[in-house]
C-alpha cells in the first residue's frame, strides 16, 4: 500500500493520540529524495511529564492484572503489526531510507510480542530452607514506570524487543523514538489503541534527545531506563540517572566490530558474509563488521572477492523492491560518513582506497554513499577507531593469531566479533580471547542466535537483552524471610 505524505503522526499519551501540547512539529525528509515525508510532533517537557504521570497512574492496576490478560494485549498488537508489515516498511523507507526489500522488522517485532505474551510463567522467584528455622523466598516484581529510548536504525525491532518484556512483567512504559525515524513506531502506537492496552500503560513520544529523552533520563518517577543508541548518548543518560534517582539503566551502544579471516577459511563465504554485514542498512548497524583482518597470504584474494561483491550493490529508491542499498539516514549521517571517507583519502590517512570513496548527493539528489573499501588502514586512523556508521570497511592484514587478536581487541568497543577458520581449536581459542559480547565462528553479524543474550563488552554497553534475558531487566528482586514457630 502507498503512504500519503506528508504523514502527520501523533504522540500517544494516556491512551489519546495528540499533537504536542505547544503544537510544535519538526520536518522529516525522505533521505533518498529530500522531499518532505512528515511533520512530526516534538514532545515537550510537559508532554514527557504527562506521559510519565499517565504511566505512573496506570501502574497499580496494570501490575495487578492477570499476566495472561496483559499477554492478550501483546498478542493482539502482534497480529496488527503483522497485518501492517508493508505499511511499516514504507514508513521506515521514507524516514530513514531502509529499502523495503530489507524490511523484516514487522515480523520479528510480532514474534517478540507473541513470545512475551506467553512468557509470563517464567516470571519466577526462588524459595529455600537453607536458613535453619526459616523459609526464604524471592519475589520478582516490576519497577513501575520504565522509559525506553530507541535509535533510528531498526525502530520497530527495538520497540518490540524492549516494550514487550517491560509490559508483560507488569511495568508501564514510555517509549521515546528517534527524531530520524519516528513514523513506523508512531503507526504502531495507533495500532496499540486497538490492541486494548488500558490508557497510560503504553505511551509513545516522538522528538529529539532534548527535551524528551533528557527529561526521561532525569525523571524521578522513571525507575528503569533501557536505551539503545550511541555510546555518547548512553554516557549522558547514565550521568543523568546517577545525578537524579539512580534509576536502573540498561545500555546497548555502538560498535566497531572486527572479523578475523585466516587463510584456511572458506574465503568466498567469508567475503560474502563480511560484505553483507557492512552493506546491511548502508552500514548503519551497531554490529556491522567495519574492520576485517585477513591473514597476509590470503589478503589479495579476499580483497578481490569482497570488492567485487560490494561494487555490485543496487543503490536506489528504497521504495523500489529491487533496491538493496539505500541512502544514509539523513544529512547529518551523510556528512559524517563522507567526512570520514575524505579524511581517510587525504594523504592516505586511511590507507589505500580500493573501492568507492564518494558521496553522491550531487548526482542522485539523495544521501547515498558509495560502498567504500580501504586496505591497510593505519591502526590509529580515525577511520579505524570510530564508529563510522556507513558503508565503509577497512581490510587490514595480520601474520599471527596473537597479532590478529591484539588488533581486534584494540578498541573501546566490544559488541560483535567474527573469526573464520577451518581449525576448530583455533576458532575456539580466538573466540575465548576476543573482548566481545558476541562471537561468530565462520559466520558474522547481523546473524544472531535467537535465544542468546545480546550486549556489549567495554564501551558497547552494559547489561544483556534477549528473549530469555530481557524480562529480568524490568524486574526487581525482593528477598523475603519467614520465621517458623516451633522449629
Ligand atoms: P543516538 O544516541 O543519537 O540516539 C538514540 C536515541 O537517544 C534517540 O531516540 C535520541 O533522540 C535519543 N537521545 C539523544 N540525545 C539524548 C539525550 N541527551 N538524552 C536522552 N536521549 C537522547 O543514536 P542513533 O544515532 O539514533 O543510533 C545509532 C547508534 O545506536 C549507533 O551508535 C549504533 O551502534 C547504536 N546501536 C546499538 C545497538 C545495540 O544493540 N548495541 C543497536 C542499534 C544501534
Which residues are registered as beta bridge partners of 172? Answer: 145
Q: Quick check: 92 and 156 in contact, CB under 8 A? A: yes
d(CA 400, CA 423): 14
Please report, for the chain, the start and end positions of each structural domain, with discontinuous segments joined by +: 11-253, 257-459
d(CA 410, CA 403): 11
Q: Which atom of ligand 1 is nearest to the CA of 333?
A: 25
Mutation to probe ligand 1, out of 204, 207, 210, 230 (largest number of atoms < 8 A from CB): 230
User: Dmax of the chain from CA atoms?
Assistant: 86
Residue 230 Cβ inside 6 Å of ligand 1? The answer reads: yes
Ligand 1 geometric centre to CA of 192 (Å): 24
Residue 281 Cβ inside 6 Å of ligand 1? The answer reads: no
The fold of 11-253 is Aldehyde Dehydrogenase; Chain A, domain 1 (3.40.605)
Q: Which atom of ligand 1 is nearest to the CA of 254?
A: 34
Ligand 1 geometric centre to CA of 332 (Å): 14
Residues 128-180 pLDDT 10s: 999 999 999 999 999 999 999 999 999 999 999 999 999 999 999 999 999 99
Comparing C-alpha atoms, which of 115, 183, 171 is closest to residue 147? 171
Residue 208 Cβ inside 6 Å of ligand 1? The answer reads: yes
Q: pLDDT tens per residue, the chain (487 residues)?
A: 678 999 999 999 999 999 999 999 999 999 999 999 999 999 999 999 999 999 999 999 999 999 999 999 999 999 999 999 999 999 999 999 999 999 999 999 999 999 999 999 999 999 999 999 999 999 999 999 999 999 999 999 999 999 999 999 999 999 999 999 999 999 999 999 999 999 999 999 999 999 999 999 999 999 999 999 999 999 999 999 999 999 999 999 999 999 999 999 999 999 999 999 999 999 999 999 999 999 999 999 999 999 999 999 999 999 999 999 999 999 999 999 999 999 999 989 999 999 999 999 999 999 999 999 999 999 999 999 999 999 999 999 999 999 999 999 999 999 999 999 999 999 999 999 999 999 999 999 999 998 999 999 999 999 999 999 999 999 999 999 999 999 8
Q: Quick check: 359 and 367 in contact, CB under 8 A? A: yes
Q: Which atom of ligand 1 is nearest to the CA of 461?
A: 41
Write down the CATH number for the domain with range 257-459.
3.40.309.10
Q: How far is CA 39 from the centre of its chain?
A: 24
Comparing C-alpha atoms, which of 164, 242, 226, 254 is closest to residue 201? 164
Ligand 1 geometric centre to CA of 129 (Å): 45
Kindly report whether the global pTM for this prediction surpasses the value 0.85.
Answer: yes
d(CA 87, CA 5): 13
For residue 1, the model assigns a pLDDT of 61
Residue 286 Cβ inside 6 Å of ligand 1? The answer reads: yes
Q: Quick check: 173 and 56 in contact, CB under 8 A? A: no
| 109, containing H or E segment | helix 105-117
Which stretches within 196-320 are classed as H helix? Answer: 214-218, 231-243, 267-279, 299-311
Ligand 1 geometric centre to CA of 291 (Å): 21
Q: Quick check: 91 and 38 in contact, CB under 8 A? A: no
Residues with Cβ within 8 Å of 62's Cβ and at least 6 positions away in sequence, in order, are 70, 167, 170, 171, 172, 198, 201
Residue 8: how many other CB atoms lie within 10 Å: 13
Residue 257: how many other CB atoms lie within 10 Å: 31
Indicate which residue of 42, 179, 252, 401 is catalytic.
252
For residue 2, the model assigns a pLDDT of 74
Ligand 1 geometric centre to CA of 91 (Å): 19
Ligand 1 geometric centre to CA of 178 (Å): 8
Residue 151 Cβ inside 6 Å of ligand 1? The answer reads: yes
What cell does 158 get?
Answer: 527495538
Buried residues in 188-215 as b, exposed as e (16+ CB within 10 A): bbebbbebebeebbbbbbbbbbebbbbb
Mutation to probe ligand 1, out of 45, 151, 241 (largest number of atoms < 8 A from CB): 151
Comparing C-alpha atoms, which of 272, 367, 373 is closest to residue 316? 367
Task: For residue 28, give the 3-state DSSP assignment.
Answer: strand
Ligand 1 geometric centre to CA of 424 (Å): 37
Tell me, yes or no, if 465 is annotated catalytic.
no
d(CA 398, CA 167): 48
Q: Whose CA is nearest to atom 39 of ligand 1?
A: 252
Q: Which atom of ligand 1 is nearest to the CA of 460?
A: 41
Q: Whose CA is nearest to atom 35 of ligand 1?
A: 229
Q: Could you tell me the end-to-end alpha-carbon distance of the chain, in angstroms, rounded to an integer?
A: 70
Amino acid at each position: 500500500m502507498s503512504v500519503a505524505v506528508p504523514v502527520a503522526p501523533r504522540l500517544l499519551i494516556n491512551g489519546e493520540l495528540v499533537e504536542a501540547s505547544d503544537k510544535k512539529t519538526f520536518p522529516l525528509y525522505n533521505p533518498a529524495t529530500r522531499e518532505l515525508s512528515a511533520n512530526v510532533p516534538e514532545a515537550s517537557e510537559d508532554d514527557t511529564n504527562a506521559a510519565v504521570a499517565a504511566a505512573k497512574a496506570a501502574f497499580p492496576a496494570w501490575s495487578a492484572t492477570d499476566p495472561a490478560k496483559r499477554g492478550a494485549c501483546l498478542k493482539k498488537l502482534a497480529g496488527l503489526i503483522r497485518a501492517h508489515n508493508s505499511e511499516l516498511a514504507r514508513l521506515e523507507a521514507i524516514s530513514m531510507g531502509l529499502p523495503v526489500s530489507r524490511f523484516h522488522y514487522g515480523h520479528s517485532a510480532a514474534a517478540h510480542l507473541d513470545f512475551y505474551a506467553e512468557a509470563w510463567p517464567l516470571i519466577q522467584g526462588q524459595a529455600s530452607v537453607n536458613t535453619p528455622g526459616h523459609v526464604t523466598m524471592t519475589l520478582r516484581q516490576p519497577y513501575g514506570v520504565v522509559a525506553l529510548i530507541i535509535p533510528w536504525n531498526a525502530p520497530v525491532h527495538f520497540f518490540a524487543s524492549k516494550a514487550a518484556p517491560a509490559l508483560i512483567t507488569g511495568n508501564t512504559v514510555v517509549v521515546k523514538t528517534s527524531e530520524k525515524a519516528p513514523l513506523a513506531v508512531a503507526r504502531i502506537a495507533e495500532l496499540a489503541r486497538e490492541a486494548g492496552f488500558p490508557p497510560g500503560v503504553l505511551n509513545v513520544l516522538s522528538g529529539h534527545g532534548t527535551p524528551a529523552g533528557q527529561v526521561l533520563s532525569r525523571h524521578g518517577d522513571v525507575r528503569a531506563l533501557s536505551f539503545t543508541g550511541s555510546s555518547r548518548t548512553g554516557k549522558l543518560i547514565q550521568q543523568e540517572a546517577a545525578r537524579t534517582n539512580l534509576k536502573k539503566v540498561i545500555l546497548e551502544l555502538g560498535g566497531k566490530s572486527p572479523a578475523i579471516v585466516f587463510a584456511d577459511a572458506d574465503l568466498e563465504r567469508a567475503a560474502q558474509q563480511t560484505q553483507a554485514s557492512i552493506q546491511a542498512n548502508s552500514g548503519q548497524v551497531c554490529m556491522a563488521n567495519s574492520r576485517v583482518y585477513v591473514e597476509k597470504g590470503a589478503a589479495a584474494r579476499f580483497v578481490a572477492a569482497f570488492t567485487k561483491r560490494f561494487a555490485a550493490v543496487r543503490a536506489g529508491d528504497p521504495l523500489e523492491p529491487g533496491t538493496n542499498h539505500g541512502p544514509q539516514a539523513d544529512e547529518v549521517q551523510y556528512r559524517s560518513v563522507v567526512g570520514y571517507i575524505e579524511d581517510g583519502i587525504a594523504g592516505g590517512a586511511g590507507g589505500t582506497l580500493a573501492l568507492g570513496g564518494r558521496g553522491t548527493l550531487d548526482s542522485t539528489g539523495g544521501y547515498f554513499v558509495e560502498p567504500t573499501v580501504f586496505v591497510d588502514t593505519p591502526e590509529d586512523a580515525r577511520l579505524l577507531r570510530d564508529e563510522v556508521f556507513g558503508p565503509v570497511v577497512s581490510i587490514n592484514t595480520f601474520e599471527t593469531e596473537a597479532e590478529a587478536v591484539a588488533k581486534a581487541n584494540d578498541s573501546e568497543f566490544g559488541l560483535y566479533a567474527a573469526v573464520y577458520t577451518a581449525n576448530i581449536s583455533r576458532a575456539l581459542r580466538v573466540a575465548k580471547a576476543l573482548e566481545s559480547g558476541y562471537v561468530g565462528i565462520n559466520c558474522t553479524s547481523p546473524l544472531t542466535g535467537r535465544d542468546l543474550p545480546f550486549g556489549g563488552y567495554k564501551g558497547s554497553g552494559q547489561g544483556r537483552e534477549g528473549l530469555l534475558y530481557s524480562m529480568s531487566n524490568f524486574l526487581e528482586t525482593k528477598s523475603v524471610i519467614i520465621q517458623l514457630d516451633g522449629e
